[in-house]
Amino acid sequence: MFGRPWLLLLLVLPLLHLFWVWRRETGRIVLPFDQGLAGGGRLLRIVLGVGESLPALLVATAVLLLALPQELAAPKQKRALTNIQFCVDISGSMTAKFGSGSRYDASMKAINDFIDFRQGDAYGLTFFGNNYLHWVPLTSDPSAFRCSIPFMSPENNVPGFGGTEIGKAVMACREELVKRSEGDRMLILVTDGWSSDLGGGNDIEIAKKLKRDGITLFAVNIQEEDARGEIVNLSRMTGGEVFNPGDTKALAAVFAQIDKMTKAKIEQGTAELVDWFWPFCLAGLCVLGLYTLLQLGLRYTPW
């Protein structure tokens, strides 16, 4: 298969040259040798004919390369993309002790570890309290996550982030995820509280919108008490789950469990046309090398 098949018409030129080399009638010169036997010289004629044919073969190889030879490559498998938005609580209560540090420190460490062993997805990071801030846009380069830990720490008392409004933050993360048309959508909520904007049936309405948009929500309730019913509804109605880790080891296990529950999908690609130059290049190099050797050691001298 060729990408420019019309160029193959140029093969007529080397074919005409080959026809001329092998069909022409050449003048015969008899050299006098004392007591020499007359011979037909057939073998020498064949060797000379092969030598004169090599330039035509080089031209034919060049024409074939210009015609872009192609072949069907084997179908490739690729990892399906998952868009994962982290929604992290930075209200004042996230400064409470959890393990050797605060709840916020343990949460960010677990998130970074999760990103390290789950490569190939797109990650975004949103901090929230009474307001929300999209700190890292969805990207396949999560290096910005590590730089964000000290800046948005709840110990800094960022104005407008002292309370907790989960519903507002979740809907803001939903807007970020629906912008991505490619790949699955996942939202991981990390919080230690409850907010009034999930009451009055708002949790059910938000969960319906998330499910309609194909967003699966996992909630990590990082406190001593179990998660409230509204957060349970918010996650399970979308196909996700609520986790209540009691220590740092359990928190790490939570993210490992999320990874198991949302295994990366493998997409089977289709066979594609790729360039297939190497056999023609190899043949051309062999012909060129043989022609060079003949030029160094074999000449036709008519006298």
Q: What is the mean pLDDT of residues 215-244?
A: 88
Q: Tell me, what's the pLDDT at 204?
A: 93
Q: What number is the average pLDDT over the span 173-195? A: 88
Burial class (CB in 10 A: 0-12, 13-18, 19+), 76: exposed
- Whether residue 107 is found in the same domain as residue 199: yes
Quick: pLDDT tens for 197-214. Answer: 888 889 999 999 999 999
87-101 confidence digits (pLDDT tens): 999 888 888 888 888
Q: How far apart are CA 75 and CA 59, in angstroms?
A: 34
Residue 244 in domain? yes
Spell out the SS3 assignment of 202-239. Answer: HHHHHHHHHHHCCEEEEEEECCCCCCCHHHHHHHHCCC
Give the pLDDT score at 77.
56
Element (H, E) at 83: strand 82-89
The predicted pLDDT at position 212 comes to 93
In this structure, are 165 and 252 located in the same domain? yes
Contact 176, 85 (CB under 8 A): yes
Residue 303 placed within a domain: no
Q: What is the mean pLDDT of residues 123-127?
A: 91
Read off the pLDDT of each residue in 60-66 and give the average, rounded to a whole number. Answer: 88
The confidence band for 303, taking pLDDT boundaries of 50, 70 and 90, is: very low
* Average pLDDT, rounded, for the chain: 81
H helices present in the chain, as ranges:
12-23, 42-66, 103-117, 143-148, 166-178, 202-212, 229-236, 248-261, 278-297
Give the pLDDT confidence of 28-58 residue by residue, as tens digits.
555 565 555 555 567 767 777 788 888 888 8
Predicted confidence at residue 78, as pLDDT, reads: 58
Domain assignment present for residue 302? The answer is no
170 is a domain residue: yes
Domain that holds residue 199: 78-267
Whether residue 246 sits in one domain with residue 102? yes
- 114 and 181 in a common domain: yes
Mean pLDDT within 105-133:
86
Identify the DSSP state of 69.
B
More reliable by pLDDT, 172 or 268: 172
- 49/153 same-domain check: no
User: What are the pLDDT digits (tens) for 233-242?
Assistant: 999 999 888 8
* Number of domains present in the structure of the chain: 2
The answer to whether residues 134 and 83 belong to one domain is: yes
Mean pLDDT to the nearest integer, 113-140? 86
